[in-house]
Copies of this chain bind each other. A is one copy, B any other.
Amino acid sequence: MTNEGSTGSPQGWQEVVAAVRSEVPLVHCVTAAVSMGLVADGLLAAGARPMMTETRAEAPTVSAAADALLVNLGTLSTDAMDGIPATVEAVQRRSIPWVLDPTAIGLAPVRTPLARELAKLGPAVIRGNASEVLVLAESGEGGRGADSTASSDAAAGPARELARRTGAVVAVSGEVDVITDGMTAVTLAGGTPLLTRVTGTGCLLGALTAACAAVTDPLPAAVAASTWLKSAGEQAARRAAGPGTFRIQLLDALDEVGR
């Protein structure tokens, strides 16, 4: 992994990872049904604690007790559409950091305008692939499903503009991750193509970012989460024979790397 540009971070990624493991933050996740299991198991493997409910009746109340919130728009259910705005308001009022993951926006008619509204509500970090960030920056039309059709490079400029406009750190994930607070930008290479062969690794990155944002500032949090997942992915790839064994080794590796 290479860091290019100034990191803007007071802490190395291993310190952030150690802080997650010692503070065991409770991360409330409103996230895609398809990747809920990986997100929860990944948070537990990372040393954090997941909590999951998305209804308007319960999500705002329980999120107020969390250390961080992830809002991921994948497979957006009616319950989630209804519960997300009040849940974001609840964490905002308590200054609990939250991460916006605008999964698969572009074509989708509800989540695209919803993501635009949510981006105005003070997320600590906006995390997406290049296509998603381009849509949110109003510079692109979106990818196909959860996959990006643009490169992180192409999203670097729009990501910086989006960060300036929203006050959020914007983290663009791909072969190379680009993370920016609008002024400094950090570029992270490394990882493995196997991360694209397992459902929900992007959602998991959003959840790890939320766990890190519970223990440090948004920029070092986003950098640490990306580095953590890339390092774990590299270790898992060395032990895996295919996408099934990779998914399992990834969870073991999240628990191991950076110690």
In whole angstroms, how far apart are the Cα atoms of A36 and B242 in the complex? 20
Residues B26 and A145 in contact, CB atoms below 8 Å apart: yes
Residues B251 and A242 in contact, CB atoms below 8 Å apart: yes
Cβ-based interface call for A107 (8 A):
yes
Q: Which residues of chain B have C-beta atoms less than 8 A from A79's C-beta? A: 77-78
Residues B58 and A76 in contact, CB atoms below 8 Å apart: yes
Residues A110 and B57 in contact, CB atoms below 8 Å apart: yes
Cβ-based interface call for A127 (8 A):
no
**CB contact list, A144-159 vs B, under 8 A:** 144-147
**CB contact list, A217-259 vs B, under 8 A:** 241-245, 247-253, 255-256
In whole angstroms, how far apart are the Cα atoms of A45 and B78 in the complex? 29
In whole angstroms, how far apart are the Cα atoms of A52 and B107 in the complex? 13
Cβ-based interface call for A40 (8 A):
yes
CB distance from A144 to the nearest CB of B (A): 5
Residues B247 and A244 in contact, CB atoms below 8 Å apart: yes
Interface residues of A (CB under 8 A from B): 26, 28, 32-38, 40-41, 44-45, 49-55, 57-58, 61-62, 65-66, 74-79, 81, 104, 107-111, 144-147, 196-200, 241-245, 247-253, 255-256
Other 12 A-B pairs with CB < 8 A, given A44-B199, A57-B109, A62-B104: A34-B52, A37-B37, A41-B243, A45-B242, A51-B144, A54-B77, A57-B78, A58-B110, A61-B107, A66-B145, A242-B255, A248-B248
Question: Could you list 14 A-B pairs, sorted by A, with CB under 8 Å?
Answer: A34-B52, A37-B37, A40-B199, A41-B198, A41-B243, A44-B197, A44-B198, A45-B242, A53-B74, A53-B76, A66-B145, A78-B78, A244-B252, A247-B251
